């Protein structure tokens, strides 16, 4: 991975769906661009290390093994306050809970996702 200093706003999939529904039902937002996110930026490296811990990863994460891409965006976070003001919607699932749910889901559905039998 890169050094992982990029910051991103991670949002749980159920929050995305609820945000889209709330945006579709909102009045007075036609033609506007709205961000669906939490408004909190997390360093990629920190998120990867947490996923590794929660998933019980073996080996080690290799931050800095790859360079940043040309033009890499270092900070990308949703304007959650504006979206909340215009739609009344806010993300409800925090990063830790979202990561745990995602890992649990993947563990329970891994074989199905691959479409193969794994023993």
pLDDT in tens, 64-102: 999 999 999 999 999 999 999 999 999 999 999 999 999
Q: What is the pLDDT of residue 116?
A: 54
Q: How high is the pLDDT of residue 104?
A: 92
Greater pLDDT, 63 or 110: 63
Domain span at residue 12 reads: 7-114
The whole-angstrom separation of Cα 90 and Cα 53 is 28
Residue 94 covered by a domain: yes
Burial class (CB in 10 A: 0-12, 13-18, 19+), 28: exposed
87 inside domain = yes
Asked whether residue 118 carries a pLDDT value surpassing 70, the answer given is: no
Contact 87, 33 (CB under 8 A): no
- Domain count across the chain: 1
CA dihedral 9, 37, 12, 117 (to 10 degrees): -70
* DSSP H stretches of helix in 26-118: 44-55, 80-87, 95-114
Q: Give a yes or no: residue 2 inside a domain.
A: no
Q: Give 9-54 pLDDT, tens digit per residue.
A: 999 999 999 999 999 999 999 999 999 999 999 999 999 999 999 9
Residue at 102 is within a domain: yes
In a domain, 26, yes or no: yes
pTM here?
0.84
User: What is the domain-level CATH number for residue 85?
Assistant: 3.40.50.720
Residue 43 placed within a domain: yes
User: Does 61 map to a domain?
Assistant: yes
Confirm whether 107 is domain-assigned.
yes
């Amino acid at each position: 991975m890169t050094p992982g200093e990029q910051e991103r706003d991670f949002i749980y999939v159920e929050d995305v769906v609820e945000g889209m529904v709330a945006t579709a039902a909102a009045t007075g937002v036609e033609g506007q661009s709205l961000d669906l996110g939490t408004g909190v930026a997390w360093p990629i490296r920190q998120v990867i290390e947490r996923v590794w811990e929660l998933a019980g990863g073996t080996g080690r994460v290799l931050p800095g093994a790859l360079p940043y891409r040309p033009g890499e965006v270092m900070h990308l976070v949703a304007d959650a306050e504006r979206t909340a003001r215009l739609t009344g919607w806010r993300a409800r699932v925090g990063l830790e809970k979202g990561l745990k749910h995602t890992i649990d889901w993947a563990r329970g559905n891994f074989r199905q996702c691959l479409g193969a039998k794994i023993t």
